[in-house]
Amino acid sequence: MYFRKKQQEEPSLNFKVKKTSTGEAAGTFYTLTAFIMWGVLPGYWKQLQSVSSLEILCHRIIWSFFVSSLLVLLAGRWKHFTEILKKRRLRFLVYITSATIAVNWLTYVYAINAGRIVEASLGYYINPLVSIFLGMIFLKERLSRLQTIALVLAITGVFYMTFSVGTFPWIALTLAFSFGFYGLLKKTGNLDSVTSLTVETMFLSLLALPFLFYIGLSGAGSFRNSSLYVDFILAGSGLVSAVPLYLFASGAKRIPLSRVGFLQYIAPTLSLLIGVLVYGEPFTRIHSISFGFIWAALIIYTVSGFIEKR
């Protein structure tokens, strides 16, 4: 939904077929790179298992603000940055998106370092279906028959895992709904991805920076009190957060929505493989059945997108 609107707003400047194909190739490369970077993030955060999730979140906020500010300057979008700050409605909207992305980031880092990468990947598998559900509730969008079937299958998969394992998959649902609401709010406010991230991390830095100073002075913080390697990974959290978002924003507007729909499943698939094959997380028969419902739902959802486009 969000991607569709962004593509409609971008004017087409590709008058020649050769230029268009080149633009699509670049768009595919940017988008693919973004999803690969998101997919291998569990391996990055695993390097910080000695650091608390809250401290990682605060460093991610601070360093993301620096990197995204640089990207905004290089892209010449500083005017859009100041526009968000000046308009009360946009500023209030960004307050809410700041809270949702903070919840998403904190939950994700916690899931990785708690050995629950498989459940985190489930959250990003069902995120597109959650976006459909939110669009139906808040934007009064009508679902096609295939989309309704896909939604029912996804809900069945989640409920099956809940009742079979005996625990509510709160990590998966928190990730899916927080990111779903994040996209919904950005669509509602027509907010540019990287520019709004700069404002969001600036607002969040007002809370993150004092916390980091406090734990640093008390000796409880890891930055500069641990190894140089940990300091490097913490400082690099801004790059691994802002750069893939910039690549995605640059690439998604150059390629068809259907291609974005296919590519978006690369990230949770890579995360799932890393969790099971690299870190030895269990993938039981219950997981297979539950994920089977989700994957069937995603196939139907993708097919419905093709039919709708035609």
Which residues are CB-contacts of 43 (< 8 A; sequence separation ≥ 6)?
Answer: 274, 278
- CA-CA distance, 215 to 222, in Å (whole number)? 9
Q: Which residue has the higher pLDDT, 261 or 148?
A: 148
Domain that holds residue 79: 29-130+170-283
Residue 41 half-sphere exposure, CB side, CA atoms within 13 Å?
31
Per-residue pLDDT, 305: 74
User: Quick one: CA dihedral 135, 130, 43, 272, positive or negative?
Assistant: negative
Q: Which two tokens stand for residue 48?
A: 């910080």
Q: Within a domain: residue 295?
A: no
Q: How far apart are the first and last CA of the chain?
A: 16
pLDDT at residue 15 greater than cutoff 50: no
| 216, part of any domain | yes
pLDDT band at 21 (very low <50, low <70, confident <90, very high): low
Q: Judge whether 303 lies within some domain.
A: no
* pLDDT tens digit sequence for 148-161: 899 899 999 999 98
12 in any annotated domain: no
The answer to whether residue 114 is domain-embedded is yes
CA 157 – CA 93 distance, rounded (Å) = 33
Q: Is the residue at 196 inside a domain?
A: yes
pLDDT at 212 over 90: yes
Number of H helices, E strands in the chain: 15, 0
Q: What is the model's pTM?
A: 0.87
Give the Cα separation of 273 and 44 in Å (integer): 15
Domain count, the chain: 1
User: For residue 22, how many other CB atoms are within 10 A of its CB?
Assistant: 13
Q: What residues contact 116, with CB distance under 8 A and at least 6 apart?
A: 171, 281
Whether 23 is in a domain gets the answer no
Instruction: Give the model confidence (pLDDT) of 213-233 as tens digits.
Output: 999 888 888 888 888 999 999
Percentage with pLDDT > 70 across the chain = 92
Token code pair at residue 94: 């960004």
User: Taking a C-beta distance cutoff of 8 angstroms, is the pair 287, 160 a contact?
Assistant: no
**257-261: average pLDDT:** 72
| pLDDT of the residue at 221 | 87
Q: Is 17's pLDDT higher than 50?
A: no
Q: What is the C-alpha separation between 251 and 58, in angstroms, rounded?
A: 28
Nearest to 135 by CA among 302, 256, 4: 4
Is residue 62 situated within a structural domain?
yes
